[in-house]
Amino acid sequence: MNIREVDILLVEDSQDDADLAVHALRHEKLASSIFNARDGEVALDFLFCRGEFAQRSFDHPPKLILLDLKLPKVDGMQVLKEVKNDPRTKAIPVVIMTSSKEERDLASGYDLGVNSYIQKPVDFDQFRETVKRVGLYWLVTNQAPVNGLLHAAKQAP
Amino acid sequence: MREPSFLMKTLEATSELHLRTNRRLQESPLRKKSEIVEPQPIHAPIEAPLRRRVTGGFIVAVLMTAFVGFSSWRYARLAAEDADWVVHTYAVMDALELTTKHVIEVETSARTFAATGQDSLLAHYEAAKATIAQDENALRRLTADNPIQQRRLDLLERQVDATLKFAASLVAKRQRLQAIPSDSEILETERLMDSTRDTSQGMQAEEMHLLSLRTNKTNAGRRLTSLIIVVGIFVGAGLLALARLAVNREIDVSTGARAQIIALNADLEQRVEIRTAALQSEIEERKLAEERLAGQAKELARSQREIRILNDGLELRVVERTAQLAETNKELEAFTYSVSHDLRAPLRHISGFSKILSEEFGAALNPDAQRYLQRIQDGTHRMGLLVDELLNLAKVGRHALYRQVTGLGAVVAEVVSMLTSESEGRQVEWKIADLPFVECDPVLIKQVFQNLLANALKFTCPRDRAIIEVSHREENGQHVIIIRDNGVGFSMKYADKLFGVFQRLHRPEDFEGTGIGLATVYRIIQKHGGRVWAEAELDKGATFYFTVGDLEQTEVKYKTTAAGAQL
């Protein structure tokens, strides 16, 4: 897999959940390039092109981030905060997909600028349906900025 | 609330008492002042004219007295002079008589000697003759101040000389001639004697005249003086009487004034006493009030201290309890969160992988394996429901009520449309009456309708034609919402178990359910302060009732909301 050009960044610590998500996405032919970050730190390194992802470029951001909240090392909210606070990454759509339907998490998620918040349904059919809709919407229906970068970010030195 | 208001009242009462006392103290001097009668003008001190008059009178009296004194002195002087004159006059008269007597003795002895020749007579004659010069000298001395008398004295002396000479001649004639005096000689002697006697008598008369003149003069002066004295005495007495009158009047006036002053003083003193007593009583009253106030303040302070201590204790307890509750809440939240997250995740995995298994490898499995796989999926589905509903119930407990006027019709319509999609292929008649606007938490009330209508739908499943009615009535000022179905119903024997958690009146094989739905309904209605109950008969349907919202209150709010909406 070419990590330089990734369509979907799946931030999910559970192998089971990651597999099910990938299975659902593949089922809908949306899993051309998915990168699964198993914790928040890896996700941030990936997004900010550092560490083992230093060869990556901000010119090719992922088209969608599917973010779980309960993560080792750096939790989902922190990842969301850093992504939305940086002009180089703030344009990337972030969809929280979590087991939690906590109002607290919902509120702080939207407060930090999340684009969508979805509770993973227990029923796999429903889960698959949800994943399909999200993928189609953000990867196909939605019009992203050119190269996923904001004009202001490009101008920045 | 009772404690602060009681304290406030006490404070108000005491401050009012204080105010009242102050006001009275401030008022009283004014009131008393108006009562004080301006003292009558006491007689002005002896007026200046009167003083002048009295002084004048006094001077006059002094002058009068001096004058009277002087007059008396003069009177005495006059009297003394008078007496002197009398003495003098009598001295002159005595001297004249003595002279006259001696002359007569000389003449008589001479004549008798001449007639008788008796020698003893001669001696007598000589003795008398010798004294005459002395007598004359005395007379000269006594009448020295009176020229007329001096002249008369000269005459007398000449007559006496003539008489003495004639007598001497008689004596000589006898001695020498032994001649007896002739008749002519005796006559001569008698003539001489008579003239001498006449002169002497004239002098005596003159002296007496002078005496009477002087007496008259001094009498006149005495009378004048007496008059002056009498008049002076009377005038003085009059003046004294006047003075006495004036003084008496003054005394009367001043006595009156003094009496007035004494009366005024007494009055004043009485007033002062009354005022003092009043002030003292006021001071006492005030002191009492202050003491009371101090006592109350002390009591207040004590109760405040007690309240503070109690409050502190209470606050401490509240803090402790709050901390405990917060801890419990946190634990509960953590628990629900982990239930939500940790239980749902493995369930999802089971559901997902079993689904994938049956979809991708189902053809390779024998029918039994496929059936078991299906059972796994059913189990996970039920467990998913159970977890979700448990979370719901837990959430209701934690959820704070956000009451707002809610149109129940719209809520029911939304729930019904959601349920209709789940009941496809079934014949269901929804009879929804006009529902009121009530004040409630719309999210929770929606949950109530969702649970009750889902139940109605579920338990009417065996019916060919399900009839579900939603209506309302007003009872005791409250809205009663009624949900009736023609489902399988239940026995009223178990009605008390209906709203308990995990309480189910049907077997799971007959009706799917978790036993949490009605417990959630109960919690929500209870949270709204309402009541929920059910009536049912086995196989004849069930009716659920719940009350929500205060009728009057909601009515008003609805009207204002409706009016707002129309604008």
Amino acid at B297: A
Judged by DSSP in three states, A94 sits in strand
- CATH number of A110's domain: 3.40.50.2300
Which tokens belong to B544? 């659920």
Partner-chain contact B384 A123, CB within 8 Å: yes
**Which contiguous run of DSSP H or E holds residue B122?**
helix B119-142
> What pLDDT is attached to residue A150?
53
Amino acid at B397: G
Tell me if chain B has a CB within 8 Å of the CB of A124: yes
The number of C-alpha atoms within 13 Å of B402 and in the hemisphere containing its C-beta is 4
B355: chain A residues, CB-CB within 8 Å: 124-125
Question: In whole angstroms, what separates CA B222 from the centre of its chain?
Answer: 81
Q: What is Dmax (Cα atoms) for chain A? A: 48
B344: chain A residues, CB-CB within 8 Å: 99, 120, 122
Residue B74 — φ and ψ, nearest 5°?
Answer: -65, -40
Which tokens belong to A105? 């998490």
How close, in Å, is residue B524 to chain A by CA atoms?
18
Partner-chain contact A122 B353, CB within 8 Å: no
Residue B130 — φ and ψ, nearest 5°?
Answer: -65, -35
A122: chain B residues, CB-CB within 8 Å: 344, 347-348, 351, 380-381, 383-384, 387-388
* Contact (Cβ atoms closer than 8 angstroms) between residue B336 and residue B392: no
Residue B257 neighbours by CB distance under 10 Å: 17
Distance CA(B78)–CA(B471), nearest Å, equals: 159
B352: chain A residues, CB-CB within 8 Å: 16, 20, 23, 124, 127
Amino acid at A17: D
A121: chain B residues, CB-CB within 8 Å: 348
Beta-strand pair A34-37/A64-67:
unpaired
Distance CA(B179)–CA(B187), nearest Å, equals: 16
Complex ipTM value = 0.78
B351: chain A residues, CB-CB within 8 Å: 122-124, 127
pTM for the predicted model, two decimal places: 0.44
Judged by DSSP in three states, B111 sits in helix
How close, in Å, is residue A123 to chain B by CA atoms?
6
> What pLDDT is attached to residue B3?
46
Give the CATH number of domain B398-566; options: 3.30.43.10, 3.40.50.2300, 3.60.15.10, 3.30.565.10: 3.30.565.10
Q: Give the dihedral of Cα atoms A14, A18, A21, A23; nearest 10 deg.
A: -130
* Contact (Cβ atoms closer than 8 angstroms) between residue B481 and residue B545: yes
**Which contiguous run of DSSP H or E holds residue B295?**
helix B183-338
A127: chain B residues, CB-CB within 8 Å: 348, 351-352
Domain count for chain A: 1
Residue A75 resides in a domain: yes
* Residue recorded with tokens 């007494």: B266
Tell me if chain A has a CB within 8 Å of the CB of B392: no
Tell me if chain B has a CB within 8 Å of the CB of A87: no
**Which contiguous run of DSSP H or E holds residue A44?**
helix A40-47
Beta-bridge mates of residue B404: B440
How close, in Å, is residue B322 to chain A by CA atoms?
21
Judged by DSSP in three states, A55 sits in coil
pLDDT in tens, chain B (567 residues): 444 454 455 445 545 555 554 554 444 444 444 444 444 444 445 566 777 777 777 787 788 778 778 878 877 887 787 778 778 888 888 888 888 888 888 888 887 888 887 888 888 888 888 888 888 888 888 888 888 888 888 888 888 888 888 888 888 888 887 777 788 888 888 888 888 888 888 888 887 887 788 778 777 777 777 787 788 778 777 777 777 777 777 777 778 878 888 888 888 888 888 888 888 888 888 888 888 888 888 888 888 888 888 888 888 888 888 888 878 876 776 676 666 667 778 888 888 898 888 888 888 888 888 888 888 888 888 888 888 777 777 777 767 778 888 899 999 999 998 888 877 888 888 899 998 888 888 888 998 999 999 989 888 888 888 899 999 898 888 889 999 999 888 888 777 778 876 676 676 666 777 777 888 898 888 888 888 998 888 888 889 999 987 655 555 554 554 444 444
How close, in Å, is residue B459 to chain A by CA atoms?
24
Which tokens belong to B527? 């949270």
A18: containing domain: 8-142
By CA distance, what is B345's nearest residue in A?
Answer: A99
Tell me if chain B has a CB within 8 Å of the CB of A127: yes
The number of C-alpha atoms within 13 Å of B268 and in the hemisphere containing its C-beta is 8
B337: chain A residues, CB-CB within 8 Å: 100, 102
Tell me if chain B has a CB within 8 Å of the CB of A88: no
pLDDT in tens, chain A (157 residues): 566 678 899 999 888 889 988 888 888 777 678 899 998 999 999 999 888 888 888 888 888 999 998 888 888 999 999 999 998 888 899 999 987 777 788 899 999 999 999 988 888 888 888 988 998 898 888 887 766 555 555 444 4
How close, in Å, is residue A80 to chain B by CA atoms?
19
> What pLDDT is attached to residue A83?
93
Tell me if chain B has a CB within 8 Å of the CB of A78: no
Tell me if chain B has a CB within 8 Å of the CB of A110: no
Which residues make Cβ contacts (< 8 Å) with residue A141, sequence separation at least 6? Answer: none
Beta-bridge mates of residue B474: B479
* Contact (Cβ atoms closer than 8 angstroms) between residue B203 and residue B94: no
Which tokens belong to B297? 């303040």
Which tokens belong to B237? 């007495």
Residue B133 — φ and ψ, nearest 5°?
Answer: -55, -45
How close, in Å, is residue B349 to chain A by CA atoms?
6
**DSSP characters for B494-530?**
GGGGTTSTT--SS-TTTS---S-HHHHHHHHHHHTT-
Which residues make Cβ contacts (< 8 Å) with residue B310, sequence separation at least 6? Answer: none
A29: alpha, beta or left? (left if phi > 0; alpha if psi -120 to 50): left
Partner-chain contact B380 A23, CB within 8 Å: no
> What pLDDT is attached to residue B72?
81
Task: Choose among B345, B353, B381: nearest Cβ to A14.
Answer: B345
Distance CA(B287)–CA(B62), nearest Å, equals: 69
* Contact (Cβ atoms closer than 8 angstroms) between residue B196 and residue B160: yes
Beta-bridge mates of residue B405: B439
Return the CA Rg of chain B.
Answer: 83
Residue B29 burial class via C-beta count within 10 angstroms: exposed 0-12, middle 13-18, buried 19 and up: exposed
Q: Where are the alpha helices (DSSP H) in B339-441?
A: 344-361, 367-398, 408-422
A124: chain B residues, CB-CB within 8 Å: 348, 351-352, 354-356
Q: What is the DSSP letter of A69?
A: S
Partner-chain contact B340 A17, CB within 8 Å: no
Partner-chain contact A120 B351, CB within 8 Å: no
By CA distance, what is B359's nearest residue in A?
Answer: A125
Tell me if chain B has a CB within 8 Å of the CB of A14: yes
Hey, of B351, B385, B387, which one would you mutate to test binding to chain A, going by the most A CBs within 10 A of its CB? B351
B347: chain A residues, CB-CB within 8 Å: 122
Judged by DSSP in three states, B186 sits in helix
Beta-strand pair B427-432/B437-440:
unpaired
Tell me if chain B has a CB within 8 Å of the CB of A70: yes
**DSSP characters for B242-275?**
HHHHHHHHHHHHHHHHHHHHHHHHHHHHHHHHHH
Beta-bridge mates of residue B544: B483, B534
Residue B439 burial class via C-beta count within 10 angstroms: exposed 0-12, middle 13-18, buried 19 and up: middle
Distance CA(A130)–CA(B75), nearest Å, equals: 168
Tell me if chain A has a CB within 8 Å of the CB of B334: no
Which residues make Cβ contacts (< 8 Å) with residue B456, sequence separation at least 6? Answer: B466, B468, B483, B485, B487, B542
A16: chain B residues, CB-CB within 8 Å: 345, 349, 352-353
Amino acid at B115: A
**DSSP characters for B528-560?**
TT--EEEEE-TTS-EEEEEEEEEHHHHHHHHHH
CA B484, B487, B493, B496 dihedral sign is negative
Judged by DSSP in three states, B439 sits in strand
Task: Choose among B340, B355, B387: nearest Cβ to A124.
Answer: B355
Which tokens belong to B136? 């004359």
* Contact (Cβ atoms closer than 8 angstroms) between residue B411 and residue B382: no
Distance CA(B545)–CA(B554), nearest Å, equals: 19
Distance CA(A136)–CA(A64), nearest Å, equals: 11
Tell me if chain A has a CB within 8 Å of the CB of B397: no
> What pLDDT is attached to residue B337?
63
Q: What is the DSSP letter of A53?
A: G
Partner-chain contact A100 B340, CB within 8 Å: yes
- State the angle between helix axes of B183-338 and B147-177 in degrees (0 to 180), rounded to the nearest 10: 150
